[in-house]
Chain A
């Protein structure tokens, strides 16, 4: 399944092809991003890392780290 992911820290949008029945935590593993570094937003709503993903989902990974 394909999902669209915006990574705030990199200011970058990617289309990723993931396995069916994947969750946000699987997406984070693929991107090598720690759960503690981002707030996942699925289709405009804040979700946890256990949230299942579906075809066409739009994900934003908001960065939690301070800018210095």
Chain B
């Protein structure tokens, strides 16, 4: 099969049936990302952008894309990574990221759970299991990671945090929150996250919002980013995994189902944001970060784990 724009071999067929070679796929992908950035004002001229990197293909491809986009303002871009302390996984992923940032001369700010909270994710999961705390690994990881990224993005003076979330991620999150009955969490989604504007929050933006996971992966390979396949050991305990496999199976029989889910959700998102924006936001009494609760979710996790640790734990802010 050949590309519809030239005679080269096609590497991808889009949902609308366009067959594209490497060169025209890259054009198609970058155009889609640029349209997303413009349509939702994700990045404004002169803004300082911190790219949240995991060492995986999505965030590294995003970093690579933004470097080209902001080639005249490279000083406005940096990467942040969180080492949760997942033995044999995150350390491997972060090695590749360190190399990429060194090669491209990008400042990389790395923070670890151990140094910030006093425990690794592996230790927290062990404590949770042994003491029947019933806190799932992905919950601990997600809540603490988001808190750290927001804290340091604000301290380092960045106006936006860009994440590599793609259409598949968003479709999964939408469905997960629908099925769990979490409309207030749904209201936080979209290409630009958040409901309430607060100086304590650094807005998160998702330039790859309308790109599928497959498109991200092809783009990463074609731009020379090494795509490995190391799975997080806690991934198998994840509700998201079930939803992901369900949506992929459904997409095989009803092509475009993930696109429809996300596009339909975007129609009702303004209503959800309006409904939930009236709720006031305060400050966590432990760490001072913005929170709708008296104690934020991150501090609640730390408070649950802390009593089972030897020695003192600092919640640095």
Contacts and interface: CB of A to CB of B under 8 A. Distances in A.
A68 B238 contact: yes
Given A36-B213, A39-B214, A39-B217, A48 B11 contact: yes
B214 A36 contact: yes
A34 B250 CA distance: 9
A19 B227 CA distance: 32
A65 B236 CA distance: 13
Interface residues of A, number: 22
Interface in B1-33: 1, 9-13, 19, 22
Interface in A33-68: 34-39, 45-51, 62-68
Contact of A49 (B13, B56, B212, B235): B13
Contact of B1 (A9, A50, A67): A50
Interface residues of B, number: 37
B221 interface: yes
Contact of B217 (A35, A51, A62): A62
Given A34-B251, A48-B11, A62-B227, A67 B221 contact: no
A48 B235 contact: no
B213 A64 contact: yes
Contacts of B58: 66
B260 interface: no
Given A66-B56, A68-B235, A46 B221 contact: yes
Contacts of B10: 47-48, 50
A31 to B, nearest CB: 12
Nearest to B137: A68
Nearest to B13: A48
Interface in B219-257: 221, 227, 229-232, 234-235, 238, 244, 248-249, 251-252
A63 B214 contact: no
A8 interface: yes
B89 interface: yes
Contact of B252 (A9, A35, A64): A35
Nearest to B238: A68
Given A46-B218, A62-B217, A64-B216, A36 B13 contact: no
Interface of B: 1, 9-13, 19, 22, 54, 56-58, 89, 93, 138, 168, 212-214, 216-218, 221, 227, 229-232, 234-235, 238, 244, 248-249, 251-252, 258
22 contacts: A34-B251, A35-B252, A36-B168, A36-B212, A36-B214, A45-B9, A46-B218, A47-B1, A47-B9, A48-B1, A48-B19, A51-B1, A63-B229, A64-B216, A64-B217, A64-B218, A65-B213, A66-B56, A66-B57, A66-B213, A67-B93, A67-B229
Interface of A: 8-9, 34-39, 45-51, 62-68
Counting from the closest, the 8 A-B pairs by CB-CB distance are A68-B232, A68-B235, A64-B217, A67-B231, A34-B248, A46-B11, A34-B252, A64-B214
